[in-house]
Chain A
Amino acid sequence: MYWSKKLLYLLIPIMILIGIELLFVHPHANFFWEAWAGYDAVFGFISSAVLVLIAKPLIDGLVKRPEDYYEEIYAPKGYNSAETPGDAAGKAFETQKEDRHD
């Protein structure tokens, strides 16, 4: 109901504009279709619909990814976090030193 009322408010000015175009305007169009009265309104509606109908499946379906998609590559799980043998040896040395002081 809410949206249909809005539609009505929109259709009235479009009709008025087309009416003015039919009555008063002497078109100097470059192409024959530009001379049709009301062409721009219809074109605006159809092309908008086509654009959004193409864009939604194309972008949402094919290339949309989660927000942190590019984040994880800089800190992949498990990479560079495993203890190297060197670290293990170092740790063992540290503990040995502590033991000696006891």
Chain B
Amino acid sequence: MIRLMVHPSFILLLGALITAFIPQKLKKYIVLVSGVISFALALRLPVGTEITVPFINGMALVILKVDQLAWIMTIATTFMLLLSLLYGWGEIGHREATWGLVYAGSSCGALLSGSLMMLVIWWEIMAVAAAFMLISRHDKHAVNAGIRYLVIHFFGGNLLLFGVALLAKQGFYLVEPLSRSMGAAYWLVLAGVGVSAGMIPFHAWIVDAYPNASIAGSVLMNSMTTKVASITLLRLFAGEQFLMGMGLLMAFWGVVYALRENHIRRLLSYHIISQVGMIITAVGIGTPLASNAAVALVLGNMLYKGILYMSTGSIYYCTGKQKLTELGHQVKTVPINACFFFIGALAIAGMPGLMGFACKPMVMAASGEQKMALLSFLLYFASIGTFLSVTMKLGYNMFFGINAAPVKKKNAKPMMYAAMAILSLFIIAFGIKPGLFYQYLPWTDAAPYSPYTLDHVLSEFQLLLGGLLAFVVLHHLFKVKSGVSLDLDWFYRKPLVSFCLSLSKGINEFRLAVWQILMDGLGGVLPFFRNPMRLLMPWKHCGNAEFRPDFYRMPVGVGAAWILLAFVGMFIFLIQAV
């Protein structure tokens, strides 16, 4: 038990347990302290540690297994938890902080678990925690989105559990590369992890849930579920051909939707699908360089997607607006925020000098190294969509654009700027000197890579300028319309709901019909019992009149006669008994 205290998850879960019972004022300090302790534990976690505990049927559960990949990912996860706590300092809701800690703890647990069974357990906790983080906002849309999140993720979790149970029957317990020869279990696990990674057709939960979280919550969610799922895919399915096609499909799907989206945080969420698609493609290639590229992209997305969510979130915090049709000219009202946004947006587009340039070209290089011409071409194609949708469309319409700036209701908190400043510092540092984080990637020794060659830098600048030229020429095509774009979640948000409602409506109709018959019958009988006095006093002919005490009052003598009669009866009865 003492040995388990080195596990960062347990500190987070302990913190969550404490915060569940203490008042709001103290809560944020406890949350921060447990975040800091877990971050410190993650930093000090020695690579190679393994903790096992006995489980049923002689199986052993590997609760903690630290390799280079798990170590760097745990550090990144706890770091993002700390930053989102900093960002939402004083703004995080009562229950939200507790569930956020559980969420981060279970994500670390899933990253660090060495047994498949342990992975499933953390997986389910992760789903519940994220859903309750949404539900605890007491916002109608957030609660609905949270329930949908829970349903989708329980579906995925059950697929995973099914697959893991089948694997256990075949004798595989550990988180190790799986092979197609394992049959159905292989595909079940792939589907289960895929639901959390946002594979099509189960991608719509990302766009549904993330924009409905609070501003700090969406920063946290961005760096948890999809990223943990990507890393799990890398551990279990590196080199799986299917993932290449799926990744490309996701990369295009996300970008095409993001190009036409109006809601700023939904746009960013669609863009997550596209980025996870790239990560999954890299996982599908499966060479050491591609695996490194996948990890680098995951880390990069945590950082620069985090800063994008933070800056758009603080605009939402200041103005209360998050539709592009209602926003514009923000550069005058929040200039510092605009700087941070463009650092993140140019980084995600792959601008040399920022972190994206150290991550994105690695995937192209990995596909080029394997001479996969079509894959390389299509990845390049999808990557320009990032620049168009996030940097140009979102950045231009939000900070410049044609709409007037909305009224600023309140100023962003200094803590928000602090969190963004820390993130941008890391993004710039890693961009200028990629070796700073390349040295911690798991496969750097096997596949060294350096992005800064003259032709790379030139071609990246050319690509971005070409995209910018297209934006300038076709700027009228980038104007957004208000409205919601339907996605595959339409099937469970519209027809399924209508179907369930129609079932209950049918039952309701039946209930109403039965009730109508009963009431009609009662209505037929009712006149006879409406006024019993009418039957007792036939001499008072008043038709079907209501009972009126004065009108139907009997003479006093009648009552006296009844009482006398009762006494006489009793007397006779008693006499007989004697």
Which A positions have Cβ atoms within 8 angstroms of B?
Answer: 3, 6-7, 10-11, 13-14, 17-18, 20-21, 24-31, 34, 38-49, 51-56, 58-60, 63-67, 69-70, 73-74, 76, 79-80, 84-86, 88-89, 99
Alpha-carbon distance A69/B463, docked complex (angstroms): 38
Q: Is B259 an interface residue (CB 8 A)?
A: yes
Closest to B392 in A: A48
Q: Give the dominant DSSP class at B's interface.
A: helix
Q: Give the dominant DSSP class at A's interface.
A: helix
Instruction: Using A28-B455, A31-B368, A40-B458 as known contacts, list a sample of 16 further A-B pairs with CB atoms less than 8 Å apart, ordered by residue number in A.
Output: A7-B472, A10-B469, A11-B469, A14-B462, A21-B455, A30-B365, A31-B371, A41-B465, A44-B466, A45-B470, A48-B384, A49-B470, A51-B385, A64-B485, A67-B483, A80-B508
Q: Is B255 an interface residue (CB 8 A)?
A: yes
B466 touches A48 (CB 8 A): yes
A73 touches B474 (CB 8 A): no
Chain A residues near B494 (CB, 8 Å)?
70, 73
A70 touches B455 (CB 8 A): no
**Given A31-B376, A44-B463, A60:B260 Cβ within 8 A:** yes
Question: Which of A11, A59, A65 has most B Cβ within 10 Å?
Answer: A59
Which B positions have Cβ atoms within 8 angstroms of A?
Answer: 144, 255-257, 259-260, 365, 368-369, 371, 373, 376, 380-381, 384-385, 387-388, 453-455, 458-475, 477-478, 481-487, 493-494, 497-498, 501, 505, 508, 512, 515-516, 519, 522, 546
Chain A residues near B469 (CB, 8 Å)?
7, 10-11, 14, 41, 44-45
Contact of A51 among B255, B454, B475, B519 (CB under 8 A): B255
A40 touches B484 (CB 8 A): no
Contact of A48 among B257, B458, B460, B470 (CB under 8 A): B470
Contact of B376 among A17, A25, A30, A73 (CB under 8 A): A30
Chain A residues near B478 (CB, 8 Å)?
52
A-B contact pairs, 6 of them (CB 8 A): A21-B455, A21-B459, A48-B466, A52-B477, A55-B257, A64-B484
Chain A residues near B471 (CB, 8 Å)?
48
A17 touches B454 (CB 8 A): no
Closest to B519 in A: A85
Alpha-carbon distance A37/B83, docked complex (angstroms): 43
B463 touches A59 (CB 8 A): no
Alpha-carbon distance A43/B463, docked complex (angstroms): 7
A67 touches B484 (CB 8 A): yes
A42 touches B466 (CB 8 A): yes
Closest to A68 in B: B484
A30 touches B454 (CB 8 A): no
Chain B residues near A47 (CB, 8 Å)?
380-381, 384
B373 touches A84 (CB 8 A): no
